[in-house]
Amino acid sequence: MNHSARKKVLVILSMNDEANRKKLAGIFDYTRDNVRWEITVAEPQTITNIKQLSKLHGILLGNRIDIHIPHSIPVVAMFRPSHNDRNRKMSHIFLDNTDVGRIAAKIFINAGFSSFAYINAPSLPIWSNERAAAFRSALPEGSPCRIWPEEGFSNLSEWLTDLPKRTAVLASEDTVARDAMLMCDAHGIEIPRDLAFIGVDNDELLCTSCHTPLTSIEPDFRRSGFITAKMLNEMMSARHPLFMTERYGVNRVIERTSSLYTEQYNDRRIDKALSMINSRSREHIQVDDVAKAVNMSRRSAELMFRQKLNRSIGEVIRTARLDSMMQRLRDTDASITDICAESGFASESYAKRAFKARFGKTMGAFRNCRQRHLQL
């Protein structure tokens, strides 16, 4: 295929959204190996007139725009169809929200929680209600599950204060979780001791900048971008394109401190062990050091961690080291070499590999994202 035969495709996405950046990466994953397109990426607010849509072979639409798109141009929309969208022939791909609710419920149940709550997104969109319904239905029969907004409470902070201690809270999205956690901080509600939180989207900068790092469910945004591009290619290649609706699921769950409370605070030895690990995470502490700090044998200490936290002492030490590295990248100008040297890991290369495996990006990329965020 020569350059003149390339199909012109417009991708309309807001690039200040991390989820959209992952979708764009997925789009390029597909085009790199399957097609040769001339791709233009545009912010939604820059599309101001229909002339900008002329001579296009297809559009990948990540955000709704007010301009009428000619029916002759195939469109794949990366959001749920609305009533108005049904008047426009286009395909759609969007997140399976029942998958989100079920996974969150499973995490909390496995952690030993028996009281649950869900915080809806403002304006109660359909996707948020779907997550709430799936979350509630996946809980054991008879489990208490309160849903915000709830009659009798004038504001969210009052509702949070009224929740029973040791309630597991699923927030509709990371921004909602962050706002709720700030309210908890203001009212002396300890996280995760009093309330545990899970968000959705895994916006790294937002989740890791919370006072208590936020556990989050990451939808498979990159895979959705790949499928989106594939759908458009099929539409542009067909004489009479079929209009499809696809859903994508969850990629992974990134566990952080906000959801880690189970039964540990009923055992002072766990409190002491965790305090020791967090305060000495940069040192080369080993499992034996933790066991000695709580006057237990290594075997007994490991068994206690497995029973109370559903994880090994080594896993907790590793998580504490990586969280400390992330916080130093976020809050200081220390060099990456110095941060690795003081991380408690055996070598710089091992520390870097562990960081990328945990946070999904290199230490350099994480710091660059933080710096761009501060400049916005």
- The pLDDT tens digits of the residues spanning 113-150 come to 989 999 999 999 999 999 999 999 999 999 999 999 99
Q: Are residues 245 and 325 in the same domain?
A: no
**CB of 148 closer than 8 Å to CB of 120:** yes
Q: Are residues 211 and 345 in the same domain?
A: no
Tokens of 178: 């962050």
Q: Are residues 274 and 286 in the same domain?
A: yes
Which residue is listed with tokens 């080993």?
A: 286
Please give the average per-residue pLDDT across 346-364, as a whole number. Answer: 87
Q: Reduced to 3 states, what is the DSSP secondary structure of residue 81?
A: coil
Where is pLDDT greater, at 268 or 337?
337
185: CB partners within 8 A, 6+ apart: 191, 211
Tokens of 289: 């050091």
> Mind listing the pLDDT tens digit for each residue in 286-305?
999 999 999 999 999 999 88
**CB of 177 closer than 8 Å to CB of 214:** yes
Percent of the chain having pLDDT more than 70? 93
Q: What pLDDT does residue 167 have?
A: 95
Q: Are residues 84 and 127 in the same domain?
A: no
Tell me how long the chain is: 376
Q: Are residues 151 and 192 in the same domain?
A: yes
Q: What pLDDT does residue 370 have?
A: 55
At 154, the pLDDT band (50, 70, 90 cuts) reads confident
Which residues share a beta bridge with 250?
Answer: 219
**CB of 258 closer than 8 Å to CB of 213:** yes
> Mind listing the pLDDT tens digit for each residue in 94-109?
999 999 999 999 999 9
Q: Reduced to 3 states, what is the DSSP secondary structure of residue 28?
A: helix
Q: Are residues 228 and 270 in the same domain?
A: no
Distance CA 237, CA 85 (A): 22
Q: Are residues 200 and 274 in the same domain?
A: no
> Mind listing the pLDDT tens digit for each residue in 197-236?
999 999 888 888 888 889 999 999 999 999 999 999 999 9
Q: Are residues 83 and 228 in the same domain?
A: yes
Where is pLDDT greater, at 20 or 54?
20
Distance CA 190, CA 261 (A): 11
**CB of 267 closer than 8 Å to CB of 308:** yes
**CB of 354 closer than 8 Å to CB of 318:** yes
Which residues share a beta bridge with 368?
Answer: none
pTM of the model: 0.73
> Mind listing the pLDDT tens digit for each residue in 304-342?
888 777 789 998 899 889 888 887 887 788 899 999 999
> Mind listing the pLDDT tens digit for each residue in 40-72?
999 999 998 888 888 899 999 998 888 888 888
Q: Are residues 345 and 315 in the same domain?
A: yes
CATH number at residue 35: 3.40.50.2300
Residue 107 domain boundaries: 97-219+254-259
Q: What pLDDT does residue 262 have?
A: 53
Above 70 in pLDDT, residue 373? no
Above 80 in pLDDT, residue 152? yes
> Mind listing the pLDDT tens digit for each residue in 172-202?
999 999 999 999 999 999 898 899 999 999 9
Q: The sheet that has 37-42: what strands, in order across it?
A: 37-42, 7-12, 58-61, 75-77, 91-95, 245-248
**CB of 98 closer than 8 Å to CB of 211:** no
